């Protein structure tokens, strides 16, 4: 078992772990703070629940415009042009089956996003009267969730470990692609576009498999090293990559030389953006 089949099995296992850990944390945390009514009341009293925010101010973190416009570029990049995602589409016999898989994925994704949003509301309710950042209990806002888990579930054997497993599953399976599918895609691209055409055009299937495995290991080591660099850029790296990748897959750009004119200033913009947010 290997290749895309192995990727699908690892993805399935990671999704089960993520759902299991998030649901456990959400249910126990909700009971700890007083139930759904208390969660909704405290979040509503502080105006954290706003369904219709049409203010065009770009400084607002979440508004109708930022979610629709920003979400369009984010999700089109993920589901429309991401190589690992396209590889999944091509693995099924027909376009209808690929479309059906996307709709099934949408249901699971919406469920996980709803659980994450409600968990955030539960965390806010838990620390309603005490800001862990101001109290120096955590250094960054990203550490609030682990703090909440240890405060709420620390006395229950096994559940903190389940949460850690969920964190690792989420880290290995971000919104764009899983690590396994990414490495598989990189190895496949390197094999088909570089190794076979330029180095070894007459490779046997067995030799090609061994070379692909070696390439996957090398790309894994490179990605591990780049983690320490990418962590310094935050979301700026993701935004800049989306701006570059999307035009490459636009049909009009592919039929003309405009893609060359687009990429050069875009790369310069990317470098400046990364330097600003470093």
- Tokens for 195? 């190794």
How does 11-48 read in b/e, with b if 16+ C-beta sit within 10 Å? beebbebbbebbebbbeebbeebeeeeebeebbeeeee
Q: Is the pLDDT of residue 54 over 60?
A: yes
What is the distance of C-alpha 253 from the center of its chain? 27
Mean pLDDT in the chain? 75
Per-residue 3-state assignment (H helix, E strand, C coil) for the chain:
CCHHHHHHHHHHHHHHHHHHHHHHHHHHHHHHHCCHHHHHHHHHHCCCCCCCCCCCCCCCCCCHHHHHHHHHHHHHHHHHHCHHHHHHHHCCCCHHHHHHHHHHHHHHHHHHHHHHHHHHHHHHHHCCCCCCCCCCCCCCHHHHHHHHHHHHHCCCCCHHHHHHHHHHHHHHCCCCCCHHHHHHHHHHHHHHHHHHHHHCCCCCHHHHHHHHHHHHHHHHHHHHHHHHHHCCCCHHHHHHHHHHHHHHCCHHHHCCCHHHHHHHHHHHHHHHHHHHHC
Res 174: pLDDT: 47
Sign of CA dihedral 176, 178, 183, 184: negative
Cβ(179)–Cβ(84) under 8 Å? no
Cβ(212)–Cβ(187) under 8 Å? yes
Res 75: pLDDT: 82
Q: Is the pLDDT of residue 31 over 80?
A: yes
What is the distance of C-alpha 58 from the center of its chain? 23
pTM above 0.85, yes or no: no
Please write the tens of the pLDDT for every residue from 67-108: 888 788 778 877 887 777 787 888 888 889 988 988 988 888
Res 14: pLDDT: 78
Q: Residue 61: is it exposed, middle or buried by C-beta count within 10 angstroms (0-12/13-18/19+)? A: exposed
Res 60: pLDDT: 77
Please write the tens of the pLDDT for every residue from 223-248: 777 777 666 655 555 555 555 555 55
- What is the residue extent of each domain of the chain? 1-175
Res 225: pLDDT: 78
Cβ(8)–Cβ(181) under 8 Å? no
18-22, 60-64, 114-118, 159-163: least confident range: 159-163
Please write the tens of the pLDDT for every residue from 175-227: 445 566 677 777 887 888 888 777 777 778 788 888 888 888 888 888 777 77
Q: CA 175 to CA 40: how far, in whole Å?
A: 28
- Tokens for 63? 């508004």
Res 228: pLDDT: 72
């Amino acid at each position: 078992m290997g290749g895309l089949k192995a990727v699908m099995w690892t993805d399935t296992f990671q999704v089960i772990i993520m759902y299991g850990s998030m649901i456990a944390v959400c249910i126990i945390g909700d009971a700890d703070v007083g139930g759904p009514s208390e969660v909704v009341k405290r979040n509503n009293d502080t105006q954290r629940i706003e369904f219709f925010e049409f203010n065009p101010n770009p400084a607002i973190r979440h508004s109708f415009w930022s979610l629709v416009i920003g979400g369009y570029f984010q999700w089109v990049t993920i589901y429309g042009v991401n190589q690992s995602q396209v590889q999944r589409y091509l693995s099924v016999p027909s376009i209808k089956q690929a479309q059906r898989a996307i709709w099934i994925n949408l249901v699971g994704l919406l469920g996980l996003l709803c659980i994450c949003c409600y968990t955030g509301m539960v965390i806010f309710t838990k620390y309603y009267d005490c800001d862990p950042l101001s109290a120096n209990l955590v250094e960054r806002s990203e550490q609030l969730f682990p703090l909440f888990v240890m405060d709420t579930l620390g006395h229950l054997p096994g559940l903190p470990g389940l949460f850690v497993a969920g964190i690792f599953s989420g880290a290995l399976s971000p919104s764009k692609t899983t690590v396994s599918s990414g490495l598989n895609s990189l190895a496949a691209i390197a094999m088909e576009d570089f190794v076979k055409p330029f180095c070894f055009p007459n490779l046997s299937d067995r030799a090609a498999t061994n070379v692909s495995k070696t390439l996957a290991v090398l790309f894994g080591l490179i990605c591990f090293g780049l983690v320490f660099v990418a962590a310094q850029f935050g979301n700026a790296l993701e935004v800049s990559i989306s701006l570059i990748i999307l035009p490459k897959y636009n049909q009009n750009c592919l039929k003309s030389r405009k893609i060359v004119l687009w990429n050069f200033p875009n790369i310069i913009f990317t470098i400046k953006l990364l330097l600003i947010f470093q």
